[in-house]
Chain A
Amino acid sequence: MTSTDPRRGALLIIVTGMAALLLSLAMAFLSTMRSDGDRTRWVARDTQARMMLNAAICYVLESSRLGWGDQETQGWNDLRNHAVGPIPIDRDPGVGDPRQPTHRVWTVGQWPAPGTSMRAAMAVWERSPSAVRPGPRNPILVGPGLPLQDDADERRILVAGLHGDSGSYRSLSDVWRIASYDRPDPAAVVDPRTDPADFRSGDGRPRLGTSNLAWFRMYRESAADHDGDRSPYYDVLDLNGGRGTAADGTTGVAYPPNASVFLITCGAGASQGFRDWADVVAAGATASFLDDPSYFSDIRSEESVLWYRIEWSAQTGDYGPKGRRQNQGWPYGGDEIWDQFFTMPSQGGSIRWVQRLDQEPPQW
């Protein structure tokens, strides 16, 4: 054969063609995987952002009563006179203008004043404040032959000898409390007897792999944001009205405005909840983004951001019936299971309504 024999070229063409085919299959495969990955990332981001709505609602509920100093406060609209709170429980909410009561915890222009916003970049703490060890809570050790039932015979509990306590407890619910006295349970991660400050403060360093995933921002609406004047676009209903009798008996007094409406921005991504570069600069956080506005801009463009409005209510949740329930189909034939039923108790109040916004609001 000579070096110009056409059979050698044919073989090369065949091999090249096969390789090209394999390459095209591989490219199609990679392309499919890439677009699948993009879609999956969108779902993950959207879900993460929606989880932030849950976190933000928890923040609103808890901070209606806690977190503004040593004293418990009495709600975003104070439940004693509807003044714009939070106001400590031991201070008179009726002093001063109810729109800016004298004993309020907030300062005009700063969070949590109406018309201001806050930012919460979320990460899991290494150790939360007042952390306790995981595991079953207050396990009750029941002696042989002692059935697990409430209202158990007092003597049978004594016979079980749970704590050597010959008290007068009558049911397992009493035993539950006694167990806590004998042995701290749940046990603290850091013993508060040796280091109470550390136990209380926790360890705020972010746990590995939990940073830069999600955040929320919260804007506390001012009265003008929900006075029904259609500015902003979602302001379709006057939520500030109402007149009633003041504490001094004066009738027909206008209610203080509704200061319990919040606009929540839920985000999934690494921007830490900064709205724009100016916001980053104002917070002195440019180093977190390599001092590069375009880097921050890239991060923002990758994020999922959702906007919601909610209204907080001082009312502590749905109220169950004080009635009887019977454990079978026909009403008169069964045993009573409970005679009181309370559900969803929330010491921080409740959320009256939730509204998703379809457009970016002017303030967030």
Chain B
Amino acid sequence: MRGFTLVELLVSLALGLIIALTAWAGFRVAAKTLGVAQNLSRENRVLVEGYGQAMTECDFWYAEDDPFDAAGQPQRQRIDDAGNPAIASPGTTGWPFFFDVSEETTFGQPFAPVDLSDEFWNLNVSDPRTWSRQGCYKAPNFNGWLTGSYAQVGCIGHPDPEGEWMHVEQDRMYSNLGWNGYLDYLPNPWIIGYYLGREGPGAPTTDSEGSPVRGSGDFAEMYTFPRPLWLISMNGFEIYPSSGLSPETALGRMGVHLYGITTCFAPRTGWVADGAAPAYVRVSQRSIVNRWSEWAPLEPRLHASLPHLSLTQDGWPQAKVKVIRRSGVHGFGRVEALVGVANPTTGAVREFSFTPIDTSLRGARQQRQWAHWGAASMDR
């Protein structure tokens, strides 16, 4: 047998090396491609999961109310002094509106039961009772202007049922559903505000259930509004001096959000994005005034997210889902969804936001009255 020559050896070594390097490069490219594909696939999987969860929240309001667990239903009762946080407002004192919100102790919440008339559920726009007249009639004395008596048209306790109906409806909605729920249930062209009525000069005003409320005592001009609705929920302190006009001129449920004011729904404990403290009590009581710098600190507490979304494996992309329901001057009842992913391997952060058509509060409350969802008694 003959051996290799040096040239043959060198050539074969070179060829072998080329083949080996080519094979190695091929494997390396294949492995890296697979790695990148796996990484993108994980991102994709997380994003798809986030999208699905965001849409589920838009459709079913799980973050606000758990239909299957009483512990997850904190927004099903009216708020009173028992254990619920008081509200703090930078507008609680100061010229010319001195008032003390701590005196107001009862507010509604969006999933609390409410009794409304049959007429509300089959709203007949040809029935004069459904017509809002509040833009045309002001209080008998507003800021020194004699502008006509609102009580001539109607108020709670008015002898004419036609003059009483709308006021009772609004009072029930506000008292039981809170500020945010009240706006959602309010027929859209109605003007916010209702007259409580009182039996005579100096007599206390009463709500639709006959309970005395503070409607005018320390704010003599405001016969039209119950005190919490105007001064607290509606942030009348902000609206009146900004508009320079009497608020009952015509503030609908979008107009009440002029001057940088927002109304939101908020998730319950444990379902707030980034582990922030819940704010559902706060937003069911009153709107958010950006000029008072209320929006920035509250905003993280208004986004619904899902508590288990971060429970992916170590090193996997982390999902971020945020869903917020809010109303402003340019849109009522909007839902905004944000789905994002942060990839610790690549450092990539991707976010997508969109505004789908969501289930409205009325729809969500009816869902909770389905037999297979617990058959809650909410709308009566």
Q: Write the residues of chain A forming the contact surface with B, with a CB cutoff of 8 angstroms.
A: 18, 21-22, 25-26, 28-29, 32-33, 35-36, 39-40, 42-43, 46, 50, 53-54, 57, 77-82, 230, 233-234, 236-245, 247, 255, 257-258, 309, 313-326, 329, 331-332, 341, 343-344, 350, 352-356, 358-359
Contacts and interface: CB of A to CB of B under 8 A. Distances in A.
B11 interface: no
Nearest to B118: A241
Contact of A323 (B40, B254, B255): B255
Nearest to B184: A353
Given A244-B129, A315-B189, A319-B250, A324 B119 contact: no
Contacts of A29: 30, 33-34, 37
Contacts of B258: 321, 323, 325, 341
Interface of B: 23, 26-27, 30-31, 33-34, 37-38, 40-41, 44-45, 48, 51-52, 55, 59-60, 117-119, 121-129, 135, 187-191, 241-245, 249-256, 258-259, 291, 329-332, 356-364, 366-367, 369-372, 375, 379
Contacts of A234: 366, 370
B31 A356 contact: no
Given A50-B356, A50-B357, A82-B126, A316 B366 contact: no
Contact of A320 (B245, B254, B367): B254
Contact of A353 (B37, B243, B255, B362): B362
Nearest to B252: A319
Contacts of B188: 313, 315, 317-319, 350, 352
A315 to B, nearest CB: 5
A32 B363 contact: no
Given A22-B30, A323-B258, A242 B122 contact: yes
17 contacts: A79-B126, A82-B124, A234-B370, A236-B370, A236-B375, A240-B122, A244-B127, A245-B127, A319-B189, A319-B191, A320-B254, A321-B250, A322-B250, A331-B244, A343-B254, A343-B330, A358-B60
B122 A239 contact: yes
Contact of B37 (A33, A258, A341): A33
A234 B364 CA distance: 11
Contacts of B254: 318-320, 343-344
B138 to A, nearest CB: 13
Contacts of A18: 23, 27
Given A233-B370, A236-B369, A255-B127, 20 more contacts: A18-B23, A18-B27, A29-B34, A39-B45, A39-B48, A42-B48, A80-B126, A233-B372, A242-B121, A255-B118, A313-B188, A315-B189, A317-B188, A319-B252, A319-B253, A320-B255, A321-B252, A321-B256, A323-B244, A356-B367
Given A36-B41, A42-B48, A324-B244, A243 B118 contact: yes
B34 A28 contact: yes
Contacts of B48: 39-40, 42-43
Given A237-B366, A244-B124, A355-B362, A324 B245 contact: yes
Contacts of A81: 126
A160 B26 CA distance: 71
B371 A233 contact: yes
B44 A257 contact: no
Contacts of A258: 121-122
Contacts of A243: 118-119
A314 B119 contact: no
Contacts of A79: 125-126
Nearest to A82: B124
Given A322-B135, A358-B60, A22 B122 contact: no
A241 B125 CA distance: 14
Nearest to A223: B122
B331 to A, nearest CB: 8
Nearest to A234: B370
Contact of A322 (B52, B118, B249): B249
A356 B59 contact: yes
A289 B70 CA distance: 49
Contacts of B191: 319
B39 to A, nearest CB: 10
A53 B357 contact: yes
Given A318-B253, A318-B254, A358-B60, A238 B371 contact: no
Contacts of B123: 313, 352
By Cβ-Cβ distance, the 10 closest A-B pairs, closest first, are A241-B118, A355-B363, A321-B255, A353-B362, A319-B252, A356-B59, A236-B369, A323-B243, A242-B119, A331-B241
Nearest to A32: B41
Nearest to A232: B370
A331 B242 contact: yes
A323 B249 contact: yes
Contacts of B38: 32
Contacts of A21: 27
A257 B245 CA distance: 41
A33 to B, nearest CB: 7
A324 B239 CA distance: 10
Contacts of B356: 50
B363 A356 contact: yes
Contacts of A313: 123, 125, 187-188
Max chain A C-beta neighbours (<10 A), residue from B119, B188, B191, B244: B188
Contacts of B379: 236-237
Max chain B C-beta neighbours (<10 A), residue from A36, A315, A356, A358: A356
Max chain A C-beta neighbours (<10 A), residue from B55, B242, B330: B242
A327 B45 CA distance: 46
B189 A318 contact: yes
Contacts of A78: 126
Contacts of A22: 26-27, 30
Contacts of B124: 77, 82, 242, 244, 255
A251 to B, nearest CB: 9
Contacts of A35: 41
A314 B362 contact: no
A354 B329 CA distance: 21
A326 to B, nearest CB: 6
A236 B362 CA distance: 12
A109 B51 CA distance: 40
B122 A43 contact: no
Nearest to B243: A323
B250 A323 contact: yes
A313 B362 CA distance: 14
A241 B122 contact: yes
